[in-house]
Amino acid sequence: MELGPAGERRRHVIALGAVTAEETFARAAAFYGDERVDSVELVKESAVALEADMLQRGWQMTEEEPALVLPGVPDMLPAPPHGLTVRRVDDDAGLEDFWRVSRTGRRYVPSVEAARDPEVALLVGYVGTEAVATARVSGHGEVSDLMGVVTLPAFRRRGYGLAMTWAAVGAARDMACGAYLLTATELGYPVYVKMGFVRVCTLRTYQPGEVAGGT
């Protein structure tokens, strides 16, 4: 998949099974039209040969996170804490709020048109008129990716991250998704486990050595 607005797009490859680097780059070249790949995300437990090949080629790991899945969703989702209002982005002002809080949103959702895609949901949590938390959903048929759960430091430990995650699950369910996937930071992991998410694997992201060394 290509990530980011035109002119800044990164060619990202996801390898979920036991493949080699040769197979991975051949498939990427067939998809993208040339051999340039900016990053490779792999499953630690199953892509052992690929990871060895990447290291042999001088690529460096830039991120490692556990991946979790939510086996089931309650009929009635928990309501947000008192004082927090969750809104779905559908205009420029909401998109600016999302970018400002998430700090990574512009790369993945560059416009209001992209935010309005029926398989995308950008969510912003407000306390009064102040944007304090975000979440993002990308639907892929039956499967949804829940991402970008961020709470501003001054508003943490109030249940806002939990509320934004449930709001993301609700948005994914509205897209008719039946599987809910996410990756967790150290801070978010216990929150997701409390919700019922179950760890299924570890995802590692690799970039070429000259790129990773400059990040």
Query: Tokens 């999302």 identify what position?
Result: 98
Q: Is 18 helix (H, G, I), strand (E, B) or coil?
A: coil
pTM greater than 0.85 (yes/no):
no
Which letter does DSSP use for residue 38 in this model? Answer: S
* CA nearest to 15, candidates 59, 79, 80: 59
120-145 pLDDT, tens digit per residue, is 999 999 999 999 999 999 998 888 99
pLDDT above 50 (res 7): no
Which letter does DSSP use for residue 154 in this model? Answer: G
* Cα dihedral: 98, 90, 178, 133 (round 10): 20
* Interatomic CA distance for residues 163 and 159, integer angstroms: 6
156-165 pLDDT, tens digit per residue, is 999 999 999 9
Q: Which domains does the chain have, with CATH numbers?
A: 2-66+202-212 (3.30.110), 72-195 (3.40.630.30)
Question: Which conformational region is residue 83 in: left (phi greater than 0), alpha (psi within -120 to 50 degrees), or beta?
Answer: left
Considering the chain, what is the average pLDDT of its residues? 89
Q: Which two tokens mark 67?
A: 């991946």
